[in-house]
Structure 1
Amino acid sequence: MNRPDDAVLDTVATGSYYAPHDVLGLHGQPDGTWVIRARRPLAQTVTAVLADGERVVLTHVRAGIWEGSTDTAPLSYTLETAYDGGVAYTADDPYRHVPTVGELDLHLIREGRHEELWRVLGARLHQTAGVDGVAFSVWAPNARAVRVVGDFNSWDGQGHAMRSLGSSGVWELFIPGLGVGTTYKFELLTQAGPWITKADPMAQHAEVPPSTASIVTDTTHEWADDAWLTRRGSRSPIDQPMSVYELHFASWRPGLTYREAADPLVGYLIEQGFTHVEFLPLAEHPFGGSWGYQVTGYYAATSRFGTPDDLRYLIDRLHQADIGVIMDWVPGHFPKDEFALARFDGQPLYEHPDPRRGEHKDWGTLIFDYGRNEVRNFLVANALFWFEEFHVDGLRVDAVASMLYLDYSREAGEWEANIYGGRENLEAIRFLQEVNATAYKRYPGIAMIAEESTSYPGVTAPTSQGGLGFGLKWNMGWMNDSLEYMKRDPMYRSHHEGELSFSFVYAFSENYLLPISHDEVVHGKGTLFTRMPGDHWQKLANMRAFLAYMWGHPGKQLLFMGQEFGQMSEWSESRSLDWWLLDQPAHRELFNFVGALNRVYRDHAPLWARDSDAGAFTRLGAPHWNPNVIAFSRRDNHGNTIAIVCNFSGAPVYDFSLDLGESGQWTEILNSDVPEYGGSGVGNFGAVRADDSGRATMTLPPLGVLWLSHSTEGSS
């Protein structure tokens, strides 16, 4: 009988051998017999019970390793083990099973091209040779040995060492008898010597923080959103209405689970008329105060609010109500928590090894090594995972600017130029192009949205033209300029008209989304309400005017929760929104106005059908601009036109003459100053009429915005 030497047996006994299946399990011998080896420390007797009923008594060899032989190759066997006291336990042997990861999978992982990585790595329910269990696999190329630990082995992994699958860096072990709910981690023997314990990077479920173990899971959710997905796949968000309600789940309605939130959230969004909801990151994260932006479990929906299937239920319900779902996604950095990705196998692995490229000084986090195939694959597959497994309709990609530039937030000498001597991170650019191209190829009708704050060219240009390939880009310039303008006393706004009109110069250079996001209502910035000048009435009037201007401006819209009813206190993730404000008539009127804004917007194609087409936009008022009035018109593909006329002064403007460009009646479809929304009631009795030259005379309400509609007869 060929037997490994004692040094190998001792290493196997402690779960420290890189190839435990070469020693344990079933092995053919040169003389035609078969040997069965098992690790059963402290056992009194060990017997292999073959499928045909034959019993093979194993004898102790060394350090808890037992072996026995049989003349015929058993199709399968179980191990019957008796310990002190005579009680016998029967169990299948993990080491008799073939690998659960195929050669093609390993090849794709090495190449960085496995688009469904979550189906191969992590912890997956699996059946092999008729035996149910869990297949564990993890990428850890620098580890000397890897073990699975969990509640099933009292967190002692010596009996569950994984096998190395060669140059792929993947380790694998099938453990029979385990199922959904099993908690586990990986133990890794580092090159430096000590063992370290890590959560599974591919885990699809995790314990509720501050606990950090991974949990075996499976989905039983039956989706009912086929109609939504069919419609989504037949159209592009670019030429559809999109008004997004950005929401931090924990503080929107504190205490609700994913399932409990379904009814109130769907009802609220329907009442408000938003087309989409965007969740701040819901991937697992250890620190709630990071708002989800420091992710440790990229494939695990946070357990704070329920199971992954509970989140699927919520998304399904939103889709059935014709509401799209956008998820905040954070591929730009990850935290240094010891249990997670940082120095995963004892060395930099997911992070770039050069701290000039691998660490965010400002945020105290690490940066992915975008040039490494397996890391890039981990992130690309993660984006696809959210589309495939959770049916999300878009990903808002956080902090894109920090990924694009090697000198982002770094002083001279703290960064290294790329191979061409430039500051662009070429590897990150290639990653972004790949994830966008792959996502759009697989899931037509989705939206990949970049939070990108610089003038980097071609963010929304196709990758085939050298662009990054995003569908939409946050218009941070518009946001900063417009908020700067709105905070000014109306008396002085006339000197700063360019802060609003400058956006018209570049509004069509990308496909833009206009954001008033969570970042604008924290860190001492106040809220949209508190930024507005004047008394309480004037603040609300300014808010209505600003939102009507924003919804009329080219681009899609995003509004952070609470601003729709004039939240007065700065947002904190640790407490609820000030819902009591909806009991105050003035704030309820603002709430009703936002609902009307969304409904009118959705019903009128000129406001969204050609958002990125400069030919559908006209600045009104030339050649004599009124410095307090910003006016422009939008057209659809059928000759219908909407004029947006904004008076940002504190007084009404009577007999205001404006060339609207088309003669006939212009219907007042929205007036931010009507009494039902808390306004003063200044308007035009529902319509204005333009003469044959297209010029109309109208009354502009104070701190008010008019939307005027001119329809072509017979148009659709």
Structure 2
Amino acid sequence: MERDRLLTGAHHDPHALLGAHTAPGGVVIRVLRPGARAVTVLAPKLRVTLTDTGDGLFEGVLPLSAPPRYRLLVTERAGGSPVVVEDPYRFLPALGELDLHLIAEGRHERLWEALGARVLTHEGVRGTRFTVWAPHARGVRVAADFNGWDGTGHPLRSLGGSGVWELFVPGVGAGVRYKFDICRPDGSHTLRADPLARRTECPPANASVVHESRYRWGDEEWMAHRAGHAATDAPMSVYELHLGSWRPGLGARELAEQLPEYVRELGFTHVELMPPAEHPYGPSWGYQVTGYYAPTARLGPPDDVKYLVDALHRAGIGVLMDWVPAHFPKDDWALAVFDGAPCYEHPDPARAEHPDWGTLEFDWGRREVRNFLVANALYWCEEYHIDGLRVDAVASMLYLDYSRPPGGWTPNEHGGRENPDAVAFLQELNATLHRRCPGVVTVAEESTAWDGVTRAPERVGESGFGGLGFDYKWNMGWMHDSLLYMGRDPVHRAYHHDEITFSMVYAYAENYVLPISHDEVVHGKRALVNKMPGDWWQRRAGHRAYLGFMWAHPGKQLLFMGQEFAQGAEWSEVEGPQWWTLAAGYPAAGDHRGVQDLVRELNRVYRATPALWERDTEPAGFAWIDAGAAADNVLAHLRFAADGEPLISVSNFSPVVREGYRLGVPGQVPAWSEVLNTDAAPYGGSGLTHTEPLKTEAVPWHGRDSSVALTLPPLATLWLRPAV
């Protein structure tokens, strides 16, 4: 029976049978080497040829009183010279009791150092330790390059009740491909990629790859600054991109030669990478992850991705990444029903099934699953120096009835629709990240009115839950309403003025990022410039005016690649941005370069003007001048720095020039200079700019004692600040 279980990969403790064991008459050594023709034990002053007992098992007795340190001389049936190898089954476990305790408790914050394939020196021998969490498995084997993808000779041992299986394989190093051969509770087998693999084959291949990083970072100055400064107190202008299509065909190392220079030249403070973790289906853009601990092999080796992050940091650019803990795909070689029973997904099929994407939801109430995800967030921030995580699809995690029909979900213990497991997980995630990685920011893509997304967990809201602890939340309401307004013909905008002003009603309910993301320029939604009505000139003017309004609105801003130069086509992950529209030979190249020049200037002035970012989350940092000029399609407001220094932003969203347009302003400022005008000729506008300071007059207006009169260009945003 024991022999059968061993040979069928269903034995929980192969080390109890294999290796050296004291017995009557000496020390029994038993070796499992499928494919071997002969096996000889080489011990100090002793050489014993083992007996072939069939099925790849070899056995013999050494006339010793205790197990010696030994090696094996193996002759393969396939021919060749005999080779000397270490026996994996003579080694004690290479995983410590503290690791097992922390895993069982769900508190191993560096889980990637305990699970997966790790190259190390154990008992003086170099090799790779293979470990995997598979709590329902009857047995686990490693199938790999080194055993011809037949795991029979390399079964792992179960380490107590932790659900962890382990085997140290001497002589195996980086670059070896492998999977885990898992014997499920019903006795069937499944071949699975390693959930903690730090490198993978390039899709469509899906084996895990043993990885040993040799990268030496050069961003010490950046990391020290990050740890000592809160990003929330600084300007943040984010350039979102899809690495695989920004310059199609380039790997991470080649991107490192182009991307930092481009982003720095345009003045963005950060990039946000659409999910860089491994995913089998390219058109998912990385949002269906199978390798949470491995950067996609499409970009090259993992150390090349570190090189890219390092290059961005050395260029002064922060790196955010999209992170996907809401769901995972059902591929039968990955996480789904990993060991024959639900491990990573919820055991209730109704709770496990994600209704929108044909994927599975994580079981956030299971401590090992929470540990897997929290440690993964730490992994990217600690091992890859990522500066922040934008957490995808948070709304789908928070609500038990998300996209589910009546009767298709079960209320929580209080009868509500909230998911307390997801709330606890997100709170733990944010608390752990902020404790271990000072300066790292977390951003929630949360599309509902959940109370307290960016509130501290200890502050309980009306919902009865504490805050989720994020630093920022994507302002989906602002995005939706403002794009709806901009998409209307100006003649109709007067009747929908609240769509462009309503965001200020709740602007300080959370800390916000204003996102014009990839989601808004795909699937028939049109590129940003083509959301605007009118002819080509008017569409570009509306595009520029909208960006000026966006940069002046409270909140950080995010713009997806291609929109910084007003490309006309929707984004395609195959083609990427339409760089050719900027080329000198293209007839409208000047039009596109003009928008790009505006974005550069927006970022330059934004970063140099504390009024635009210093009090982003304080109501006292904002004041309306006029929010009610609906008939004019005009809105104007003030922003204030911490020292009270003001900036005026005024947008004219009509195609009409408005001369002598009066705005109430603070009387203590004697004159105002125009610091930005989206209608300036270099940006492709009509050139109606104010070259001289505008004098403040003692003319009451808009409830203020003083005012200025200015000319509002058509479809334009102007910024004014005190003249010096």
Give the aligned residue type for 1:334.
F
Correspondence 1:71-82 to 2 at 5 A = 71-82=64-75
Structure 1 residue 427: deviation in Å?
A: 0.2
| Inter-CA distance 521–55: structure 2 relative to 1 (3 Å threshold) | same
Quote the residue 1:684 is aligned against. 690
Q: 1:322 aligns with which of 311, 316, 319?
A: 316
Deviates more, 1:12-21 or 1:68-77: 68-77
**TM-score, structure 2 length as denominator?**
0.95
Superimposed CA distance per residue, residues 534-590 of structure 1 (whole angstroms, 9 cap, x where no aligned partner): 110110000010000000000000000000111111111111321111131111101
Q: 2:621 aligns with which of 600, 611, 616?
A: 616
Structure 1 residue 412: deviation in Å?
A: 0.2
- Where 2:451 maps in the other structure, the secondary structure is coil
Correspondence 1:397-416 to 2 at 5 A = 397-416=391-410
Q: 1:310 aligns with which of 289, 299, 304?
A: 304
Number of aligned residues: 704
Quote the residue 2:165 is aligned against. 171
Quote the residue 2:715 is aligned against. 703
Q: Is 1:630 aligned with 2:622?
A: no
Quote the residue 2:568 is aligned against. 568
Quote the residue 2:103 is aligned against. 109
- Where 2:257 maps in the other structure, the secondary structure is helix
| Inter-CA distance 15–78: structure 2 relative to 1 (3 Å threshold) | farther
Deviates more, 1:565-574 or 1:453-462: 565-574
Superimposed CA distance per residue, residues 224-253 of structure 1 (whole angstroms, 9 cap, x where no aligned partner): 111111111222122211111100111111
Give the aligned residue type for 1:603.
A
Q: Is 1:670 aligned with 2:676?
A: yes
Quote the residue 1:555 is aligned against. 555
Give the aligned residue type for 2:210.
V
Superimposed CA distance per residue, residues 634-676 of structure 1 (whole angstroms, 9 cap, x where no aligned partner): 1111121111011111111111111112331111110111111
Quote the residue 2:238 is aligned against. 244
- Where 2:376 maps in the other structure, the secondary structure is helix
Instruction: Tell whether the 8 Å contact from 1:10 to 1:62 is kept in structure 2 after alignment.
Output: no
Quote the residue 1:694 is aligned against. 706
Q: Is 1:607 aligned with 2:612?
A: yes
Give the aligned residue type for 2:27.
W
Give the aligned residue type for 2:558.
L
| Inter-CA distance 457–53: structure 2 relative to 1 (3 Å threshold) | same
Partners in 1 of 2:441 and 2:388 — Cα distance? 4
Partners in 1 of 2:187 and 2:41 — Cα distance? 35
Partners in 1 of 2:332 and 2:396 — Cα distance? 24
Superimposed CA distance per residue, residues 373-403 of structure 1 (whole angstroms, 9 cap, x where no aligned partner): 1011100000000001100000000000000
Specify every segment of 5 or more residues in structure 2 that has no aligned partner in the other structure, as ranges. 460-465, 584-588, 699-704
- Where 1:548 maps in the other structure, the secondary structure is helix
Partners in 2 of 1:576 and 1:13 — Cα distance? 51
Q: Is 1:159 aligned with 2:164?
A: no
Partners in 2 of 1:623 and 1:501 — Cα distance? 9
Quote the residue 2:462 is aligned against. none
Give the aligned residue type for 2:474.
W
Instruction: Tell whether the 8 Å contact from 1:16 to 1:158 is kept in structure 2 after alignment.
Output: no
Quote the residue 1:68 is aligned against. 61
Superimposed CA distance per residue, residues 599-657 of structure 1 (whole angstroms, 9 cap, x where no aligned partner): 11011010001101001110112787764111111111112111101111111111111
Correspondence 1:105-504 to 2 at 5 A = 105-465=99-459, 466-504=466-504
Structure 1 residue 42: deviation in Å?
A: 5.5
Give the aligned residue type for 1:301.
P
Give the aligned residue type for 1:20.
P
- Where 2:402 maps in the other structure, the secondary structure is coil
| Inter-CA distance 624–42: structure 2 relative to 1 (3 Å threshold) | closer
Identity of aligned residues (%): 54
Partners in 1 of 2:562 and 2:637 — Cα distance? 29
Quote the residue 1:578 is aligned against. 578
Superimposed CA distance per residue, residues 30-64 of structure 1 (whole angstroms, 9 cap, x where no aligned partner): 67x432221134544322112x3422333344542
| Inter-CA distance 549–377: structure 2 relative to 1 (3 Å threshold) | same
**TM-score, structure 1 length as denominator?**
0.96
Deviates more, 1:71-80 or 1:527-536: 71-80
Partners in 2 of 1:479 and 1:12 — Cα distance? 59
Quote the residue 1:3 is aligned against. none
| Inter-CA distance 177–401: structure 2 relative to 1 (3 Å threshold) | same
Partners in 1 of 2:269 and 2:445 — Cα distance? 20
Superimposed CA distance per residue, residues 89-137 of structure 1 (whole angstroms, 9 cap, x where no aligned partner): 2110000111111111111111111100000000000111110000000
Quote the residue 1:4 is aligned against. none
Quote the residue 1:39 is aligned against. 32
Q: Is 1:592 aligned with 2:583?
A: no
Partners in 2 of 1:625 and 1:612 — Cα distance? 27
- Where 2:649 maps in the other structure, the secondary structure is strand
- Where 2:239 maps in the other structure, the secondary structure is strand
Instruction: Tell whether the 8 Å contact from 1:179 to 1:216 is kept in structure 2 after alignment.
Output: yes
Partners in 1 of 2:122 and 2:441 — Cα distance? 39
- Where 1:491 maps in the other structure, the secondary structure is helix
Instruction: Tell whether the 8 Å contact from 1:41 to 1:65 is kept in structure 2 after alignment.
Output: no
Structure 1 residue 454: deviation in Å?
A: 0.2
Quote the residue 1:643 is aligned against. 648
Give the aligned residue type for 1:508.
Y
Superimposed CA distance per residue, residues 2-39 of structure 1 (whole angstroms, 9 cap, x where no aligned partner): xxxxx2123324443210001111223367x4322211
Partners in 1 of 2:402 and 2:109 — Cα distance? 30
Partners in 2 of 1:186 and 1:544 — Cα distance? 54
Quote the residue 1:24 is aligned against. 18
Quote the residue 2:702 is aligned against. none
Deviates more, 1:97-106 or 1:434-443: 97-106
Deviates more, 1:349-358 or 1:111-120: 349-358
Partners in 2 of 1:320 and 1:81 — Cα distance? 51
Give the aligned residue type for 2:691.
F
Correspondence 1:498-517 to 2 at 5 A = 498-517=498-517
| Inter-CA distance 596–558: structure 2 relative to 1 (3 Å threshold) | same
Instruction: Tell whether the 8 Å contact from 1:394 to 1:446 is kept in structure 2 after alignment.
Output: yes
Partners in 1 of 2:224 and 2:113 — Cα distance? 25
Give the aligned residue type for 1:530.
N
Instruction: Tell whether the 8 Å contact from 1:15 to 1:159 is kept in structure 2 after alignment.
Output: no
Partners in 2 of 1:570 and 1:505 — Cα distance? 32
| Inter-CA distance 124–83: structure 2 relative to 1 (3 Å threshold) | closer
Partners in 2 of 1:43 and 1:317 — Cα distance? 49
Instruction: Tell whether the 8 Å contact from 2:272 to 2:321 is kept in structure 1 after alignment.
Output: yes
